[in-house]
Amino acid sequence: MLPISVDEGLTLTTLIDILVQGILLGGLYALFAAGLSLIFGVMRLVNLAHGDLIVLAAYLILVATNALGVGVVGGLAAAIPAMFAVGYLLQRLLFNRVLGKDILPPLLTSFGLSIFLQNGMLTGFSADSRRLPAGGVETLSVPIVGGLAIGVLPLLTFLAAVCVIVSMNQIFYRTALGRGFRAVSDDPVTAQLMGIDNRQMFAIAMGIAMVVCAIAAFFLGLRANFDPTIGPARLIFAFEAVIIGGLGSLWGTLAGGVILGVAQTAGAAVDPEWQLLVGHLAFLFVLVLKPRGLFPRSAD
């Protein structure tokens, strides 16, 4: 995406290009955010290590791909159960012990975990930038009207985001497990009276969230370089997408991701250094006008 020069001006094509690229980028941000949204919905936990866990997943995919020699999709297939286990254990051993009425312990614990993970990965993998081997997919594009083209990878990312959200909604609203999640989210005490083991539910939810993080990491690693320090920025994007979209709705999170993506892409089009800033300003703008987000669930 080249910055718009004064000579070119703002043509309709440029605007549509920004919009399309931004929407597709939003798909990636929605993938970052979906796990965060699930965890907050079920157990009111904001995991400050969320971004670092996405990066960890990316490294796991890389390691699995290199070790198993089955290509990067095989690497993802191996990383998914591994990340489920990571999430399950993290919840059972760590977060279940600090969740409670006080907000400080889970926050401070997840912050400590974030620093631990970042520096653990720095120690284990060095600060070198890595990339998942995409075998050329990252350069493919599909032409659409007016001389514009959509990258195949961004398109797949967006479609993956939609699939993940559809799947998660299916789980939440069509399965017994999802019923359990909603009950625990509504009223953890009465849920126990139904025979639901809250700690087990939280652990399963965290496992699912980590699987979504693995999928997010897959697309992140294919499209851009990653290194141990990029976690916090992913957390912030995820968080911004959730807040812009509104708490309690996964489709809202997709919308939030799209708005963030478009804002960032528009900013980058004017000046690459402005990409992040415009995104943050869009977030703050929404926060001031609609503190509960654009599409909050009314029950909250």
List residues near another protein by CB under 8 A.
45-46, 48, 94, 97-98, 103-109, 111-120, 122-123, 176, 179-180, 182-183, 185-187, 189-197, 232, 235-236, 239-240, 243, 273, 276-277, 280-281, 283-284, 287-288, 291, 299
* Block residue for tokens 């399309």: 20
Shortest Cβ distance from residue 289 to another protein (Å)? 10
Q: Which is nearer to another protein, 70 or 111 (CB)?
A: 111
Q: Which residues pair with 141 in a beta bridge?
A: 151
CB-based contacts of 220, cutoff 8 Å, min separation 6? 28, 32, 54, 58, 226, 234
What are the φ and ψ backbone dihedral angles of 253, each rounded to 5 degrees? Answer: -65, -40
Nearer to another protein, 103 or 166 (CB): 103
HSE-CB at 269 with a 13 A cutoff on CA atoms is 22
CB of 20 to another protein, least distance (A): 25
What 3-state DSSP class applies to 226? strand
Of 156 and 278, which has the nearer Cβ to another protein?
278
Whether the CB-CB separation of 210 and 84 falls below 8 Å is answered with yes
Residue 55 and residue 230 in contact, taking contact as beta carbons nearer than 8 Å: yes
Q: CB 196 → another protein: shortest distance, Å?
A: 6
**Minimal distance, residue 186 CB to another protein, in Å:** 5
User: Shortest gap between Cβ of 203 and another protein (angstroms)?
Assistant: 14
- Which residue, 71 or 112, is less far from another protein as judged by CB? 112
Q: How far is the CB of 127 from another protein (least distance, A)?
A: 9
216-249 burial by CB neighbour count: b if 16+ within 10 A, else e?
A: bbbbbbbbeebbbebbbebbbbbbbbbbbbbbbb
Q: Smallest distance, Å, CB 284 to another protein?
A: 6
Nearer to another protein, 226 or 283 (CB): 283
**Cβ distance to another protein smaller for residue 13 or 173:** 173
Give the nearer residue to another protein in terms of CB position, either 62 or 113: 113
For residue 67, give every residue at least 6 positions away whose Cβ sits within 8 Å of its Cβ, in sequence order, or none: none
d(CA 268, CA 14): 12
Is residue 253 within 8 Å of residue 37, measured between CB atoms? Answer: yes
Minimum CB distance to another protein smaller for 180 or for 261: 180
- Min dist CB 99 to another protein, Å, is 11
What are the φ and ψ backbone dihedral angles of 149, each rounded to 5 degrees?
-135, 145
CA dihedral (37, 54, 152, 137) in degrees, to 10, reads: -170
Query: Which residue has 């191996």 as its token pair?
Result: 78
Nearest alpha carbon to residue 253 among 12, 2, 41, 9: 41
